[in-house]
Amino acid sequence: MKHITRAFIVVLLAVLAFSTGRAQDNTLLESWASSSPGLVRIENGMGKVYQPEKQELLDLAVVRIESPAARELMKSDTIRVRRRKTDYVPEGELPVLQLEQIDDDLCQRRLQEVIQKHSRQDVGEPQIKKKGDVLVAQLNTASCWISRGSGAFKFTHIRDSMATPTQIDDFKRAVQIALDHVGQTRLVDLVDGEEIDILFVSAVRNVLTEVDQAEPREEFTSDYYVGFGRRYRGVPMIGSRIVIRLDGNGDVAMAQKVWRAIVDVGPGKAIVSRQSIQDLVVNDPVFRERHSTGPVSPQQVTIVDKQCGYMEAPVHYVQESLRPGCSVSFQVGESVDETYPQIVISLEDNGSVQSMWGSGYQSKP
C-alpha cells in the first residue's frame, strides 16, 4: 500500500500585507490595474474628492463591485485596491477617532451573532466559555472565539479543510464572492467617511505525493483568502482587517475581523509631525534601547518599508481611539539582515505607542 502525503502551499497571488517586511509580488493585482477605471477622481459616496496626488500613492487599482448588497453597504459601486509598498504618509491635522468600548456582555452578544451568520446549520444555543482574554464557543463543526479586549473574532469551519479543488474561476471572482459575503452579513457598519479597500488575495496550493516519489501525484488550488482593510477620509488604518477564506465550493470557510467600531470623532486633533520618519525612528525609546551601544543619526537609517496612517492595536489591547502612526522596517548603516528590524512609532511629536494603542487587556474571572 502506497502512502500519500499532502503539502499545503500558500501561493501569494497578491499580498498587500498587514505587517511590514520585504516587498511581495503583487503581479496579478497589478494586472487588474491596467483594465480598471481611473484612480484620480473617485467620489465613493462621501461627499468629497480626495487629493489625487495622495490617493495615487495608495491605490493600485479601482474595481467594480458586482454585489448589490456590498454596494449598498459601502455606498459605492467601486472599491480601491491598496498598494503593498507605498511612500504614503499622512500630513497636517487629523481628527482623533473614538472607538467603541468592549465588555463581556457585548462580546457574548457579538459571538452569538457571528455564529448565526457563519454557521451552515442551526447550532442552537452555543456553549460559551471564558479562556483568558477570549470567549470561546464550542461547536461540533466549527471553532469560534472573540477577544474580550477588542471585539476581534475568528470563525472557522473545521471539516474537510482545504481538501476540495476550487470551483472559483480566478482571484477576481474570489474577491467578488468575498465582497458579497461582507455585504450580505453586514460584517461592518461604516460611519461617514469610512471606506473598505482590498489588501490582498492569496490561494492555497495542495500538492499530493507518494512517499517514495519525488514528483507530485496531484496538484490543485483549494482555497482563496481575501483580505480587506479600511480608510477614514482617505487615510488608511494600519492593523484593521477582515479576512475571508473561501473553500473549494466557493463557500465561506473562515471569517476573521479586527475592526474596532468608530463611534465618534473626538474634539481634539492629532498633528502629524514635520520630522522625517528617520528622525522619529531614532528618537523612539524602543529604538534607542535596541541601539544603546552608541548614538545613531537619522542619516544612518534606511527605511526599507513603511505603512503609515491611523494605527489599530493588536487584538489583545484595549484601545480607546485611533491616532496616526507608522509601522516601519529599517536598516541601520550597511548591515544586511535576513529580516529587517521593525518598529511601530507614533507620528505625533510627543506621541507614543501607548498613546496610540492603549494597554494590554487584563483578564478578569
Q: Which whole-number Å values give the CA distances from 246 to 46, 72, 115, 163, 221, in the listed order? A: 30, 22, 17, 12, 11
Contact 10, 204 (CB under 8 A): yes
pLDDT of amino acid 28: 54
User: What pLDDT score was predicted for residue 22?
Assistant: 25
What is residue 216's predicted lDDT score, i.e. its pLDDT? 66
Which pLDDT score, from 0 to 100, does residue 144 have? 94
Q: Give backbone dihedrals phi and psi of 131, rounded to 5 degrees, phi first.
A: -135, 90
Q: What is the mean pLDDT of the chain?
A: 83
SS3 of residue 74 by DSSP: helix
Contact 24, 11 (CB under 8 A): no
C-alpha cell at 103: 465588555
Output the pLDDT for position 54.
Answer: 66
Residues 168/197, Cβ–Cβ less than 8 Å: no
pLDDT in tens, 306-344: 999 999 999 999 999 999 999 999 888 876 565 677 899
pLDDT in tens, 195-205: 999 999 998 88
Distance, CA of 81 to CA of 60 (rounded, Å): 5
Say what the pLDDT of residue 30 is.
61
Q: Cell for 154?
A: 475568528
Q: What is the pLDDT of residue 123?
A: 65
CA distance 254 to 260: 19
**Cβ(101)–Cβ(90) below 8 Å:** no
**pLDDT for the residue numbered 292:** 66
Taking alpha carbons only, the member of 23, 32, 15 closest to residue 79 is 32
Per-residue confidence in pLDDT tens, the chain, 365 aa: 444 445 545 444 443 332 222 223 455 566 555 554 433 333 333 333 344 456 678 999 999 999 999 999 999 999 999 998 889 999 999 999 999 999 999 999 999 999 988 887 766 677 889 999 999 998 888 889 999 999 999 999 987 777 788 999 999 999 999 999 999 999 999 999 999 999 999 988 887 777 676 676 678 888 999 999 999 999 999 999 999 999 999 999 999 999 999 999 988 899 999 999 999 999 998 888 887 677 889 999 999 999 999 999 999 999 999 999 999 998 888 765 656 778 999 999 999 999 999 988 875 55
Domain boundaries, the chain: 267-360
Burial class, 245, CB count within 10 angstroms (exposed 0-12 / middle 13-18 / buried 19+): buried
Q: Give pLDDT, residue 266.
A: 82
Residue 38: per-residue pLDDT:
39
